[in-house]
Chain A
Amino acid sequence: MERILEQFPIVVNALNIGFVQTLKLFASTLIGAIPFGLIIALGSMSSFKPLSYLTRMIVWIVRGTPLMIQLLIIYYGPGLMLENHIWGVGESGRFLAATVAFVFNYACYFSEIYRGGIQSVPVGQEEAGLVLGMKKSQIFFRVKLLQMVKRVIPPMSNEIITLVKDTSLARIIALQEIIYAGQTFMKGSQGIAGAMWPLFFTGVYYLIFNGIVTVLLGRLEKKLDYFQ
């Protein structure tokens, strides 16, 4: 116990640095996947059949295979297959590759949630807009979008909480996020070796952060309670 107290400041400092990387990956994934998911959703609902089939096939592949494999393929694939390591070297290259993999993966999940949300808005809303001389785009942005947002927040909250934890998968391409930071103390780092507890302790970070995320999303849900 005494030893843990001694190690604590060093470990927390290292975990904080790792957690910043975790947060960066989390934030860039959301920023990319939230709009990109909408594009995929619109593609999969397109009346142009080849586009909708192609989009649905991509969604099927991405949702049907482990994110960990997608990370490996996206990071190592270009170097191995094209002999062109497009991501660049070092931590920034790994971060870029991880972001691309996460955005793509999460956009596919979000797209299915959006599709459900869009399709759950009653047809009468569109018809009312049309009869009032509104353009299709105006009907989408001024009438349907907010109703859709209201409907997708609960399932999106679920995915976002999963994303917080999924960021740890980036460990597989050696991105130095919090799990990676915790593990270094097992192998030995900064005079600490064979310590298992830092890895366990990372759980506290996830737990607290997910608590904050849950509260924020709950508030957002409440904000849209003013209509039904």
Chain B
Amino acid sequence: MAILEVKNIHKSFGRTEVLKDVSFSLEKGDVISIIGSSGSGKTTLLRCLNFLERPDKGIIRVNDETIFDAEDKKTQLESQIRMKRLHFGLVFQSFNLFPQYTALQNVMLAKELLAKEQPDYKARKKEIHNEIKEQAIMLLKQMGLENRMNNYPHQLSGGQCQRVAIARALALEPDILCFDEPTSALDPELTGEVLKVIKELADKKTTMIIVTHEMAFAKEVSDQVVFMDGGIVLEQGSPSEVFDNPKEERTKQFLKGYHNTIQP
């Protein structure tokens, strides 16, 4: 059974149609990479999944539950969106860490605020706090940041910041973790350390959607690759299908551009 089903998503900004009928599905534990040139709608698609944008048409289903249906106003209640967002985690291109909090506090903050909404929070305050802290420390260790937990974002490198951001997203245990060009703001060396962490998550069967321009990485880590162009899914399949035997002329052209830049 698919953990995520996206059906016929349309999204326009003014007169510009950014997504034109996008559909795909994702199995639990799988990794899907979305590739395509800038402006093809990849980022907008991720933002729709995280309710940062509202699709004009279409349906989003998670674990067989319809969490968004453009036709059904009941699925768009502002009061429920906050909780529905928690199905997804999102790691941004520009990290968006909270600068006034340390790495550890960044990872803990949202979870602590959510814990306050639990009925037994007052009684178990200390215990809950310690649980959250332990989990955050564990996640930061997993990201190789045990020596950086008490540093503020401006004291960290870009790669370290992005790993804190990944830990922060994982802390809420989302069903699906989304990455929006996680390494586009990083130099090649820092890119490597972030990709390594994502690869480890893939090995642990974390369900992920990765928008990326790192083709070699996408090929290695993905179970499925989606090629988007002009707001539609032009081609979709296993990494070897899409990268080694692309059917569409546009896909060939796009991948050729990459081969040319990588191997001059």
Interface set of A (CB-CB < 8 Å, partner B): 122, 124-125, 127-135, 138, 142-143, 146-147, 150, 226-228
Contacts and interface: CB of A to CB of B under 8 A. Distances in A.
Nearest to B91: A131
A130 B113 contact: no
A47 to B, nearest CB: 13
28 contacts: A122-B96, A125-B98, A127-B52, A127-B96, A128-B92, A128-B96, A130-B52, A130-B82, A131-B52, A131-B90, A132-B109, A132-B110, A132-B172, A133-B82, A133-B83, A133-B85, A133-B110, A133-B113, A134-B113, A135-B82, A135-B113, A138-B113, A147-B99, A147-B100, A226-B100, A227-B152, A227-B154, A228-B154
Contacts of B52: 127, 130-131
A226 B92 contact: no
Interface residues of B, number: 27
A117 to B, nearest CB: 14
Contact of A131 (B85, B97, B109): B85
Contacts of B98: 125, 128, 143
A127 B99 contact: no
B50 interface: yes
Contact of A124 (B50, B85, B96): B96
Given A128-B96, A131-B85, 18 more contacts: A124-B92, A124-B94, A127-B52, A127-B92, A130-B52, A131-B52, A131-B88, A131-B90, A132-B169, A133-B82, A133-B114, A133-B172, A134-B113, A143-B98, A227-B99, A227-B153, A228-B99, A228-B152
Contacts of A129: 110
A14 B201 CA distance: 75
Given A124-B94, A127-B52, A134 B152 contact: no
Contacts, number: 63
B159 interface: no
B136 to A, nearest CB: 13
A228 B154 CA distance: 6
A190 B185 CA distance: 73
Nearest to A132: B110
Interface string B129-173: 000000000000000000000001110000000000000110010
Contacts of A125: 96, 98
Nearest to B92: A124
A129 B52 CA distance: 11
B197 interface: no
A133 B52 CA distance: 12
Interface string B7-24: 000000000000000000
B168 A132 contact: yes
A29 to B, nearest CB: 28
A127 B85 CA distance: 12
Contact of A142 (B82, B97, B113): B113
A181 to B, nearest CB: 44
Nearest to A228: B154
A128 B89 CA distance: 10
A147 B100 CA distance: 7
A100 B96 CA distance: 41
A226 B151 CA distance: 10
A59 to B, nearest CB: 29
A118 to B, nearest CB: 15
A129 B50 CA distance: 12
A124 B98 CA distance: 10
Contacts of B128: none
B86 interface: yes
Contacts of A127: 52, 92, 96
Contacts of A226: 100, 152
B201 to A, nearest CB: 17
